[in-house]
Amino acid sequence: MENSIKNKENNLQKKTARAAGIWYLAFIIGSILAQVFAKIGFGSVAEITEVMASDDLGFRIGFVISMFSAMCFFLAAWYLYVLLNPVNKNLSLLFLLLNLGGVVVQCYNVINLITGMAFLNEGQSQMAGMYVNLYDSGFNLSQIFYGAWVFPLGYLIFKSGFMPKILGVLLMIDCFAILLYFLQFFFFPEITAIAYPLYAISALSEFSLTGWLLIKGVKGKHHE
């Protein structure tokens, strides 16, 4: 009987882990597609404005995808919250709220893109560029939350006992990489080369987490 209960708990835990992985993968794919179609994400102000002017449909597709991607990101965080809540309730709630803060800032900020598109359609390219600039600054502001949420997430993974400690370490390092990217944008915007190794750290940590959740799941319920 006891083994049956443990097996059910382990199966539920694995399903939760895989659900987190699926939503995280959907977020990653959505982010890539939004960048491809509309340069939304890490495109420059000039690139976003050019897509607005030259490919209205492509921009709208990228815009919608970016919204769905943000929703997927929060759902991934929710399933990770469910998975890691037994390890530490307060820290798991903290990373969920930090993720939500970033998603809210990002989604609210895209209003600037809608406004910019409206001005561009009216032939006011200067006003459109101003709103795209506002979007760019707001997107980078959201990185404070996105950087902060991965630290408690990484710490809980490190302490959990049912996920590899190296994943936790990578995510905690990713926190500082994202925050350094934020500082680079606001203090040294002309030195863009600084951001490239930071992108690599983020990609490594988040792809590793997603891959583990999808392929391996978890090893069985145990935490320190």
Q: What is the mean pLDDT of residues 35-63?
A: 92
Per-residue pLDDT tens for 7-48? 666 788 889 999 999 999 999 999 999 999 999 988 888 999
- Indicate whether 181 pLDDT > 70: yes
- Indicate whether 220 pLDDT > 80: no
Q: What is the mean pLDDT of residues 49-71?
A: 94
Please give the residue that has the higher pLDDT: either 61 or 199: 61
Q: What is the mean pLDDT of residues 150-161?
A: 96
- Indicate whether 195 pLDDT > 80: no
- Indicate whether 67 pLDDT > 90: yes
Query: 14 with 217: CB under 8 angstroms?
Result: yes
**Banded model confidence at residue 222, pLDDT cuts 50, 70, 90:** very low
- Indicate whether 210 pLDDT > 90: yes
Looking at residue 224, its pLDDT comes to 44
**Banded model confidence at residue 2, pLDDT cuts 50, 70, 90:** low
Considering the chain, what percentage of its residues have pLDDT values greater than 90?
Answer: 70
Looking at residue 1, its pLDDT comes to 54
Tell me the average pLDDT of the chain.
Answer: 90
